[in-house]
Structure 1
Amino acid sequence: MISFDLFLLRHGPPLRSGLMLGHCDEPAADGAHDRLVARARYLAADRVIASDLHRAAEGGRAIARDRDLPLQLDPRWRELDFGAWDGCDPALLPEAALQRFWADPDRNPPPGGESWGALRKRVRAAILALSGPAIVVSHAGAIRAAVSLLTGLDHRGVWAFDLPYGASLTMRVWQDGGLTGQITGLAQ
């Protein structure tokens, strides 16, 4: 059975926050990655993996450069695809449709977007591709999908905890054909 630590870091604040930023390639704000670099400095990992979207990829590059570690950009660590809602202010979206999405994101994905199950499937593949400790710079949705996969919590359980920009979550992962894990640390 393979066992390793997985360090999940949410990217720094984007230029425009408060929007449904899924696959919208919003860059990070100036200085957004300073906190990530400081947090990652002492993590026992031998590689950095980041979503290929700028707001996460830039943080991954900064950490990899600071730690002199290899960087891999992996689109499986992207945020949930919000489809037609991508880049929108949620206050301007149809309230009933948003409520249906939050209540059951598998049966009510955003128009033209991705279901919760599809996000979990690609994050599962990304975790199964790992064979040792890694720092992953990603997005709130993908990090929550990883927590859901490794702990068995459903979408309500993982959406219930705060995961601000720059937060880090440490998980112990066991691979034995499947995935199990436990949260060993959370820093906000």
Structure 2
Amino acid sequence: MPAPTSLPTIFLYTEEQRGKQLVESEVVGMFSDISGADKLVVIRDPHTRLQFVYRVEHDSSNLDAVAITELDAGLFDGKHSTQINAMSYRLGSPASALKLLRGKTQWIQDKGAVLSVLLQNAASRSASFSLRRIHRDRIDKVPPGVPVEYLPREAADPQAEAPWLAPDGDKH
């Protein structure tokens, strides 16, 4: 069983160059507009370390990428805010983002939305929401038996599990 990381995680179903798989990804936090009507989750891609901002589509279990943010994960505490496209967004905690996801841990990354955001980001190099969307077939169910890729974990202290490996003179 994998050990916990510093941030909570979910599993994103992706269809990328590495093939179809569920990829464990860190939940960084969430964006919420002033009215609280527009809420978005921020998930860190474990391979590129990019932090994608996603609109949550509960009906289809899809996360639709709308932007990329370079904000430090420590700012997602409910006290800080940022501006994107002249709109102010409060930065909510990872726990708030998990509530928005309604406790569901398996989501589908809409590949057309991610591609649109990557192209937008490459063209503008500034924080903005992608208005265009590349339409591709939408997946609404994770196929059975897909491989699962877990985040790398720090090795546990070998002395904690095997006290006989303690340096000489260290008595337990």
TM-score range, shorter chain: under 0.3
Larger radius of gyration: 2
Higher strand share: 2
